[in-house]
Structure formats: C-alpha cells, structure tokens
Chain A
Amino acid sequence: MSCPGTSSVTKLPGATVNVSADISNTSSTAVTGQLKIVDAANNPVASSTSASIGGGATQTFTASFTAPASAGTYTYTAQAYNVDNATVDDQCNFTVNVSTAGALSIVSVTLA
C-alpha cells in the first residue's frame, strides 16, 4: 500500500533520505509508538526515537537513512511500530529513485 502523502523521492547516490511520518493513535489509551523503515528484504535501515502518543492523538516521527550507492529504484516500507505490543500496527511503501541525472551542475563559466 502506498503511503498517504508523498510516496517517492529522487536522490543522488549516497545522499540522505529524510522521512517524516504522522502517526495517529486510534485507541483511547496512550500507546508508545515508533517509526521504522525497512528495505525490500525487510532489513531495518532506520528508526525514529520512540514516544508516547495519547489516545486519539497524532505525533510526528522522523527517521533518516542513506540512499544506495547505485542508480535504480528502491522500495522501502515505513512502519508504525507499537512498542507496547511489539507489533507493526500499520505500514506503507514508498520508493527512492537513485539517479545521477542532474548530478552535475555548472558552477561557473569563464569566457576569454
């Protein structure tokens, strides 16, 4: 399932990918939540700090990871991790397009 909001970003090889997610607690009691990012092989690549989310409240979590060194399209999964129950309550996919196109820019031109 694609993530609500932005579901893809283009990055240079080795650049930093910043993920920000709003996670809401649909229950009536506080839940400790965390944002986790895993790659297509389900390997963890990033996680936010955990924080308590009040019942019915929404909180923003951020996590960062390094884009792959090779050009290509990579799929990742953002997970809303329930620390209290040790369960992934919700998840969605997003893609990182790693490209060298546009990597070069003209810094200065000298005419003589």
Chain B
Amino acid sequence: MSYYPFTGVVVDVRWPRVLTHQVGSSQLDVWDCGGATCTTVGTIALSQGTKEIAYSRSSNAVGVMFVDNTVWAGTLTYDNAAQTWNLTLNSTPVASTSATYMLAVGDYVTYWEQQAGQEVAYVIDVSGTVVKQFTYSGNPCVIISTTYDYSGIGNPSIARKLFHNNLTQPRVNHFDAAWNFVNLYNWHGWGCYRGFFSRTATTGTGMEGFLAFNERVASLPMTTVRYEVHGDSSYSIPRWWSGYFPYTVGYDATNNRVPLINTSHQLLVDDNGSLVSVDPSLGTWEYYVTWAVPYGSASLIVLTMVSGTTAQSRIYEYAGGPALQITSLSLA
C-alpha cells in the first residue's frame, strides 16, 4: 500500500486535510493531501510547547497537555466549508502538576498522574470540570482510563463506562448518566493497559459493540502487548482476535477494519480475521499508535511511530481486501 508521510503525530483526519502535532511544538500543522503528496497549508498556534493532545472526533472534546504538565480542556471542531480546524481551550487549565498521559473518547478527556505514590485518574468534561476522580494505591502500572458511551448498545441503562486498571486487575466500572456507580466487572488477570481504543459499531455482521485494547503483560517486555477485539457486549469473549503482538491496533468501526502491527513491524489489515495485506517497508521504531477512519467505502489507516520525542506518521489508503480471485484454472 502506498502512504502519505507526515512529521509528528496525527491528531485528526478530514481528508484531504490532516492535522498533526510534533511533540514539544507550540503549534498544530494543517496539511493538504489533495495530490500525491501532502503540503502544509496552515498552523494553529498553541501558547507553549505541547506534550500531548487527546481528541475525540465524536464529541469534539480535546485535551492538551503542555510541557509544564498542565492539562487544558476545550473543543476542536472542523469547518467543512472552510476546511479548517478551530481549537478553543478554556481560559484556565485543569490543575495538575504531574499529568503523564491523556486519552479522549466519547464526551470526555481523561488523564492521570502520580501523587505521593498513588495513581490518580481524572475524567474531565470540555469545560475542564473534573466529573470523576479515582485514586489507586499500590498499583505499579500506568492507568489508562476512558469513557465510552454504550447507550443503545447492550444495556441501554448503562450510559457510561470507565476502563481502568484497578489495583492489580483490570476492571470496568459502569456508571449511569449522572456518574453514579452502577457495577464493576473484573476483566482478565493481565497487567497494564498500554493503549486503548473503543468504538461503536453500527454495521457488520451482528456486532453490537466494540472494544480493542492493548494489554501489557507485566512479566514481559514493554514491547509485548496483548490485544483483543470484542464484538459483543459480554466484555469477556473476543469476537475476532486475541493474541500477542508488539505495539498496537486501531479500528475503523464503519468498515469493520482492524489495522495492526505484527512482530516484523509490518502493517497488517484485516476485515474479519485473516490477514490480507502487508507493508514490509516499515522500520523498527520503538512504539506505534495506529487508528483508522472511514474514507468512503475504504479506510484511512493512520500509523504513528514515536521514538523518544520524535514522531512521524503515515496515512494509508486501504480500499479493502484482496480484489483478485482465481475462479477457474485449466491445464494443457
């Protein structure tokens, strides 16, 4: 597959426009990929160097973590007519001095930090208000938490879920719309989540919900992760895959496509469980983050490679599985 190269981490894609961020930079770069290559056509200024940006396309919620570890909440919207992004951050940051990681899914941004040996995870809304806070002690793992709107899927009375690593066992907390605790599921006996993706699937072969995540196995190197794609609301039985791969996996819920990285640092794309395409040209970067967005009947697969504070990204156009089939053969 051919790809479009970028410097930095891809924040959003509204093809042919792409928004990227270079770790430590004080701006977001807007790219135009109308041709065979992409060129920068604009920037969005940030007040200071930025470590990380978390963005939820479904609700425009955005969180920005600056180099001083302050977290800012706001919205990032896209103007289709003008083909521009508009970033609006609140006038004051969310108080934080040691935020380490962020994630945005659904209506909220989550981040977490260490305070006096404890992991503290926060859920904030777009105004920066902390709507939920969790504190865990004795947990050696990085907590990765996010919200996921399951309303209308599975149990419609449960509007929100928070996935996190509670003490020594990953768990799923369920909340109602007012953030009242409803239930909690134990989830596997694995180690830490290193990355997490969740999407609502409305198409496909009877799939009701979707979860895909990476799990770090505590006794194995950081480059070994486990991921599963859950295609139903049971939260325990992977519908499609479960296995060990280095690095990470993304998902295009509309087209039911799952890109992942295999042990040879190849980009693999799958529709329903079988590997169909590889890109042997990928290098051996330390860490990958990949996700996917619908692109007509195809997918745009975003692969971001991070090494230290340097990042580069590629966007692949993936039109589907193998196109050619041998339907008949004759020998003479």
Contacts and interface: CB of A to CB of B under 8 A. Distances in A.
Contacts of A4: 326-329
B332 A23 contact: no
B328 A25 contact: no
Nearest to B277: A87
A96 B325 CA distance: 22
A75 interface: no
Interface string B317-331: 001101111111111
B1 A85 contact: yes
A63 to B, nearest CB: 11
B297 interface: yes
Interface of B: 1, 277, 297, 319-320, 322-332
Nearest to B329: A3
A7 B329 contact: yes
Contacts of B323: 25-27, 31, 82, 85, 89
Nearest to A11: B331
A55 to B, nearest CB: 9
Residue of B1, B326, B328 most packed against chain A (CB within 10 A):
B326
Contacts of A25: 323-324
B320 A9 contact: no
B325 A89 contact: yes
Nearest to A92: B326
Contacts of B326: 3-4, 21-23, 78, 80, 90-92
Given A23-B327, A89-B323, 7 more contacts: A19-B331, A24-B327, A27-B323, A78-B329, A80-B326, A85-B1, A90-B325
Contacts of A91: 326
12 contacts: A4-B329, A5-B329, A7-B329, A8-B331, A17-B332, A20-B329, A26-B323, A26-B325, A27-B323, A31-B323, A87-B277, A90-B325
A28 interface: yes
Interface in A28-67: 28-29, 31, 33, 53, 58
